[in-house]
């Protein structure tokens, strides 16, 4: 008999999470032939997973079978675990399952697309998102409605006055305000409950894209009759230590009970004749095809793990790391942050450090961090082009030129930045190491000669290639 909770190490805490992280001790080869323990500062993209989650998956694999489809014991065990996972998810964000439904998707992007598909939007219905939103919380709304962007201030924070002005202006046509819980570019956290109150005052609904927020801060969507209630919440498990292909959409049952599901097929129906279809109950109606059992189990385990550590401890640890990193990076000459470069409190700022090194192309900096520092970051525009354009003060003429370059297959001069994003397991020692490598970069003391690939814009060191078969390769 196995209960996933029993597999959580009894001593697990914010101080020893590294002991339970898979892949934390991986060594990588640098261009000078030395080896170094890899530092993963790309947690805003995806996080690694924990031994406890792997152990739980190993257990459920022994029982793997079709969910909601079989009559055998294995299928019943798998189905119970899958259904229980939804309760764990709902409890984590305080959702009332009488009124709301937890629908599993592939990721946040698919969850937002589902809401956009299921709201019965007409092209002249208005949805408001902000200039700081990820493309995934922008493009689905453009496709189905008239999308209005609320503005951001010069420092990248959300302009709440502009948001209110736009809500008021479009209130007669407004169907939804879709806003990110925290920016994947600057890590700035939005006052989601204050925004919810505002949105409800004007009779509309709010969707919060919690892809970045949920791994780092406690989220409580609040009671359905609370004016600060979050109507729709979406997020991805792969950013919260469960990278097994699951996303989550929580929203009012009433919305999804009406009409046809956006994807149809097996699992969505109670009855099908040659001429008639009767949709089944929620959430199954909205999850066409065989569900991702492993994804759901791993997400539930990640939540159990985060609860055992305590979200307050996660937030506290990451705030300390962020402040430490900011102070250290600010001591370097030539580091230019996107967004504010100092904070009186780190409560409303996630561990996302996005910057440029004055006079150096962003992809060159990230290549040196990779090949000479063994440090994994991301560079570019982070799927948030309008926001990065604004933060980097790219003029409309420059943007036009950029467009021509992209269309001609040249990405060698595109604006962008470097993003180091921290997670639960990162340490001050890793930040020290990162700052040392940055110091070497700022002083132009790096060793390699780097060649740029014009098509992708990325840099590679001359005379050095990663030997993938040393790490992992399918070929
Ligand atoms: C704020 C935000 N929203 C949405 C997404 C999309 O998430 P996914 O790629 O898991 O669908 C991301 C991904 O980085 C994100 O940072």
Concatenated DSSP letters of 61-82: HTT---TTT--SHHHHHHHHHH
Structure token digits, residue 108:
């946040």
Q: Which atom of ligand 1 is nearest to the CA of 247?
A: 10
Please name which of 92, 48, 85 lies closest in space to residue 287, comparing C-alpha atoms. Answer: 85
Residue 283: is the preceding peptide bond cis (ω within 30°)? yes
**Max CA-CA distance within the chain?**
73
Sign of CA dihedral 163, 164, 169, 171: positive
**What's the pLDDT at 197?**
98
Per-residue pLDDT of the chain (475 residues; tens, 9 = 90+): 466 777 888 999 999 999 999 998 899 999 999 999 999 999 999 999 999 999 999 999 999 999 988 889 999 999 999 999 999 999 999 999 999 999 999 999 999 999 999 999 999 999 999 999 999 999 999 999 999 999 999 999 999 999 999 999 999 999 999 999 999 999 999 999 999 999 999 999 999 999 999 999 999 999 999 999 999 999 999 999 999 999 999 999 999 999 999 999 999 999 999 999 999 999 999 999 999 999 999 999 999 999 999 999 999 999 999 999 999 999 999 999 999 867 888 899 999 999 999 999 999 999 999 999 999 999 999 999 999 999 999 999 999 999 999 999 999 999 999 999 999 999 999 999 999 999 999 999 999 999 999 999 999 999 999 999 999 999 8
Pocket lining for ligand 1, CB < 6 angstroms:
107-109, 134, 136-137, 180, 184, 209, 211-212, 236
Structure token digits, residue 316:
């506290």
**What's the pLDDT at 267?**
94
Which of 137, 140, 234, 236 is the best mutation target for the ligand 1 pocket, counting ligand atoms within 8 Å of the beta carbon and taking the most? Answer: 236
Name the active-site residue from 129, 301, 381, 383. 383
Q: Which atom of ligand 1 is nearest to the CA of 238?
A: 10
How far is the centre of ligand 1, averaged over its atoms, from the C-alpha of 292 (Å)? 19
Strand partners, 72: none
How far is the centre of ligand 1, averaged over its atoms, from the C-alpha of 327 (Å)? 28
Q: Which atom of ligand 1 is nearest to the CA of 106?
A: 11
Q: pTM (2 decimals)?
A: 0.97
Which of 106, 111, 212 is the best mutation target for the ligand 1 pocket, counting ligand atoms within 8 Å of the beta carbon and taking the most? Answer: 212
Ligand 1: residue whose CA is nearest its atom 16: 184
> How many angstroms separate the CA atoms of 113 and 359, rounded?
39
How far is the centre of ligand 1, averaged over its atoms, from the C-alpha of 311 (Å)? 21
The reply to whether 383 belongs to the active site is: yes
The label of the residue with tokens 């990325």 reads 458
For residues 243 and 49, is the Cβ–Cβ distance under 8 A?
yes
**What's the pLDDT at 3?**
64
């Amino acid at each position: 008999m196995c209960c996933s909770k029993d597999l959580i190490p009894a001593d697990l805490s914010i101080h020893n999470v590294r002991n339970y992280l898979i892949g934390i001790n991986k060594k990588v080869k640098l261009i000078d032939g030395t080896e170094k323990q890899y530092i993963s500062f790309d947690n805003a993209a995806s996080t690694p997973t924990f031994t406890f989650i792997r152990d739980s998956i190993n257990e459920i694999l022994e029982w793997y079978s079709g969910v909601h489809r079989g009559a055998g014991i294995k299928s019943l065990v798998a189905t119970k675990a899958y259904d229980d996972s939804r309760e764990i998810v709902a409890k984590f964000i305080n959702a009332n399952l009488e009124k709301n439904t937890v629908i599993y998707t592939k990721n946040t992007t698919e969850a937002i697309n589902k809401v956009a598909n299921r709201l019965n939007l007409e092209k002249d219905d208005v949805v408001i998102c902000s200039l700081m939103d990820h493309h995934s919380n922008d493009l689905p709304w453009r496709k189905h409605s008239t999308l209005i962007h609320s503005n951001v201030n010069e420092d990248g924070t959300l302009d709440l006055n502009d948001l209110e002005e736009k809500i008021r202006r479009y209130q007669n046509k407004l169907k939804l305000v879709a806003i990110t819980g925290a920016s994947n570019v600057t890590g700035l956290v939005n006052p989601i409950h204050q925004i919810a109150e505002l949105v409800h005052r004007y009779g509309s609904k709010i969707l919060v894209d919690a892809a970045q927020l949920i791994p780092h801060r406690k989220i409580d969507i609040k009671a359905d009759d609370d004016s600060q209630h979050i109507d729709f919440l979406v997020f991805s498990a792969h950013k919260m230590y469960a990278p097994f292909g699951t996303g989550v959409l929580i929203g009012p049952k009433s919305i999804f009970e009406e009409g046809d599901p956006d994807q149809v097929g097996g699992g969505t129906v109670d009855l099908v004749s040659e001429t008639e279809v009767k949709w089944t109950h929620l959430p199954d109606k909205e999850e066409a095809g065989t569900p991702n059992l492993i994804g759901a189990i791993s997400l539930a385990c990640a939540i159990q793990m985060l609860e055992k550590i305590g979200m307050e401890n996660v937030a506290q640890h990451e705030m300390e790391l962020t402040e430490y990193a900011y102070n250290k990076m600010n001591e370097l000459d030539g580091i230019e942050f996107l967004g504010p470069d100092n904070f009186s409190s780190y409560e409303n700022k996630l561990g996302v450090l996005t910057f440029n090194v004055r006079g150096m192309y962003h992809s060159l900096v990230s290549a040196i961090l990779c090949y000479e520092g063994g440090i994994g970051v991301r560079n570019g525009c982070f799927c948030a082009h309008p926001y990065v354009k604004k933060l980097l003060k790219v003029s409309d003429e420059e943007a036009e030129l950029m467009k021509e370059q992209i269309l001609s297959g040249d990405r060698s001069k595109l604006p962008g930045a470097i993003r180091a994003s921290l997670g639960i397991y990162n340490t001050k020692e890793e930040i020290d190491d990162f700052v040392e490598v940055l110091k070497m970069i700022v002083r132009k003391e790096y060793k390699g000669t780097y060649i740029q690939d014009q098509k992708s814009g990325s840099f590679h060191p001359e005379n050095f290639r990663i030997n993938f078969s040393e790490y992992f390769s399918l070929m």
